[in-house]
Structure 1
């Protein structure tokens, strides 16, 4: 895998057998999930308050991310990801099979449907961080952008194929058939995960769950590039969710289509996303990430306006093709940047926070836009969402993506010298106060102070709860860096498992401006 070409094609990861197997299994599962979404929404589209109910289906499947995703990311970083995927795939198979059996028996009321959809949403929220985090284990770093595009593509292939199949199956045999297919698709994932074997040397760290949760959120708070990705995701997905939530109502009440017609509209979106995956690589070569995000957001806004104003299925389906491509461009750009930005030790937790924002925002947005359509009307709700999309694109010059950070080297390195101590601290001893003293010539002082700013962010990302830099009032040119880490074990992880090559480069830049090596002290609380 280390000999992959520097400029790999979009399909290069498919040459790796394990990636190809898991990708195909996930595609089958995504097709089943989209089929279930169409079947569930179509069961409710003729009920009173159809806009609110169909939006509630999306909300029930996506809102669990808000509560489950971050703990799931912690579990995926500290436990075996393969076992997590295996257990949850079996659970999802059982839940989907239960929904199919109840529907076949005529026992699926709207309450039952939304409850089981919510439980499956919880399962999916638990699965997603582990599934996203294993991708860099399957391909080399240079293929991560292509792998991210392919992982976005699998969702959109499913969006193209699943709804069309669901429309046909709902018309032929009812929603229970669609729910049965979804249960079988989860069984396919279970078999693929059973076949996959993780490398024996790649195991999660033995962090405790609560400290791991704190360290993950601390990392994101002190990673400006990650925070900007989360902001861009929120500004796009909340208004964009209106189209996905209200499209079944547009198909039913505005266009007077059946389940098959609604499936074809979703298939047009999915087809566009597939085409978007094919052209995103040359688009990236022509334009920067911020230009791509702005253009894609405006195209998606145009598709949302079309849903509000067009009253014929054919022109709307044609318009939804570039709209689906725009969706793929946004998702792939955000996901690629995040995969490249996060180091391995916190990858699942960072991706979990991204899923909280993206999928949670989609769930909240679906609920809000459904209520807005009921109160103000379908067309006005969609036009309002389009206006927010345009406003979000207008913020890109002020809050752009930090595309340069995607090229930072997040490889873990161990450049800190082992601490020389007379005491033998217990791993849980703490908090630990670390003092690092520097001597800096007067001419280098401004540059040194500037160089220490990224060092401070690095210390916080890797475990420091507090960080400060002081100047010795009695000795000009003497500076003392002070930071506090919750426990001795947390500080040892800074030494050996959390410092990346980029973090080390920040410190090297500061040290190059000092006179001689720094002096380090480790201060521990005295015995009780």
Structure 2
């Protein structure tokens, strides 16, 4: 058995090429984020409603379309899906440059999300098919680190480019990134998947076979429930970080630094989680939830009690919280790849993403209600308490890996 390290993983040609293709693919998801917001708000004069619709256009494809698209992903060659989905995303992004109003632009954002809902499960299937079991943890850690880097650097680079380019030029550059990802994915040669002996049914019935795997595997079900609850807890307070920073007396600059600190923590956490996820994934998730929850409760109580805190300490806490998030996400994907049959993994992954996203969407509204009624720190305290309880219950009830 080879050592579970990133060096061991990147010495394998196919995982190496898959990771290389993921760099432009993931950056293509985030490079034009600032450009879309700038176009909608500053050029077209839209307000909060349009931004809320933009957030929904980014999220809903994984709930409404992903489980059905995954049926196709499970039936056709994985490399074909990787290439075609990147080409489709590129064409949809190119369409952004020619959108004349907010409705058309948001429709194209939704369309791109629908296409991306095929790429993401296909990448999970490719990791499962091309990566030795003992290296899947580090593979998921690497891909999460790439994704996290794109979330940090993509919008920042897009914002910088807006100073010298129009939004339309950024959309065209982003379309070219998807084309580059498709060209790299052409070289991802995967072994054929086992022939499925399942009877092909109606499309809707086939899509339900993903969620049926969670009922079959107790470990998979526990991991899904854990992840959905953890994301719900995170998003109770994620949108309120600016208000928490303001409560400590920090300004807009500190808020920007806090976002960067959280993102950097997520990047480091992803790499660290990858090294541990293949050994005891549920243990890693549970301990991360408890530690993150205690940290969140501590910062919330400090704000509630009016205690002062220095900016470096505040940034360190947010960095730590971001890292803990990765320690819950990376092991979950490792469990999916270990438990899901190769001929159903796309449906299993898409079903899980739909459940997690649907649960997550309600959290910001609940968190804002808590903050408006009892104060911002209470929303953080509620989220931290959910994480501590979740981690403690999982640790007490789960004895396996």
1:160 touches 1:268 (CA, 8 Å); kept in 2?
Answer: no
Q: Structure 2: how far apart are the matches of 1:159 and 1:173? A: 20
Pair 1:264–1:121, CA change in 2 (3 A): farther
- The match for 1:88 is 85
Pair 1:327–1:376, CA change in 2 (3 A): closer
**TM-score (norm: length of structure 2):** 0.81
Q: Structure 2: how far apart are the matches of 1:178 and 1:315? A: 36
**TM-score (norm: length of structure 1):** 0.63
Is 1:394 the counterpart of 2:392? The answer is no
Deviations 1:369-397 (A, max 9, x none): 69x37x96599467425413422421333
- The match for 2:260 is 267
Is 1:121 the counterpart of 2:91? The answer is no
1:163 touches 1:267 (CA, 8 Å); kept in 2?
Answer: no
Counterpart selection for 1:33 from 21, 24, 29: 29
Is 1:66 the counterpart of 2:63? The answer is yes
Q: Structure 2: how far apart are the matches of 1:128 and 1:31? A: 14
1:268 touches 1:320 (CA, 8 Å); kept in 2?
Answer: yes
CA displacement at 1:80 relative to structure 2: 2.2
- The match for 2:176 is 184
Structure of higher RCO (CA pairs closer than 8 Å, 6+ residues apart): 2
Q: Structure 2: how far apart are the matches of 1:179 and 1:360? A: 28
- The match for 1:351 is 349
Report the 3-state secondary structure (helix = DSSP H, G, I; strand = E; otherwise coil) of the residue aligned with 1:345: coil
- The match for 1:140 is 132
Q: Structure 1: how far apart are the matches of 2:31 and 2:302? A: 24
CA displacement at 1:138 relative to structure 2: 1.4
2:137 touches 2:274 (CA, 8 Å); kept in 1?
Answer: no
CA displacement at 1:332 relative to structure 2: 1.1
Q: Structure 1: how far apart are the matches of 2:32 and 2:255? A: 13
- The match for 2:223 is 229
Pair 1:241–1:313, CA change in 2 (3 A): same
Listed as ranges, the gaps of 5+ residues in structure 1 are 407-528
Q: Structure 1: how far apart are the matches of 2:171 and 2:310? A: 30
Q: Kindly report the root-mean-square deviation, in angstroms, between the aligned alpha carbons of the 2 structures.
A: 3.9
1:240 touches 1:300 (CA, 8 Å); kept in 2?
Answer: no
Pair 1:269–1:129, CA change in 2 (3 A): same
Counterpart selection for 2:161 from 138, 151, 169: 169
Q: Structure 1: how far apart are the matches of 2:155 and 2:299? A: 18
CA displacement at 1:75 relative to structure 2: 2.1
CA displacement at 1:20 relative to structure 2: 1.3
Q: Structure 1: how far apart are the matches of 2:257 and 2:35? A: 14
Listed as ranges, the gaps of 5+ residues in structure 2 are none
Q: Structure 1: how far apart are the matches of 2:67 and 2:10? A: 30
2:14 touches 2:190 (CA, 8 Å); kept in 1?
Answer: no
Q: Structure 2: how far apart are the matches of 1:175 and 1:314? A: 35
Q: Structure 1: how far apart are the matches of 2:301 and 2:74? A: 42
CA displacement at 1:361 relative to structure 2: 3.0
- The match for 1:331 is 329
Counterpart selection for 2:17 from 21, 42, 46: 21
Pair 1:267–1:376, CA change in 2 (3 A): closer
Report the 3-state secondary structure (helix = DSSP H, G, I; strand = E; otherwise coil) of the residue aligned with 1:395: helix
- Give the greater-gyration-radius structure (CA): 1
Q: Structure 2: how far apart are the matches of 1:318 and 1:396? A: 22
Q: Structure 2: how far apart are the matches of 1:395 and 1:247? A: 22
Larger strand fraction of residues: 1
Deviations 1:109-166 (A, max 9, x none): 3x34432222222222232222212211111111111111112111112123223312
Q: Structure 1: how far apart are the matches of 2:32 and 2:360? A: 18
Report how many aligned residue pairs link the two structures.
Answer: 391
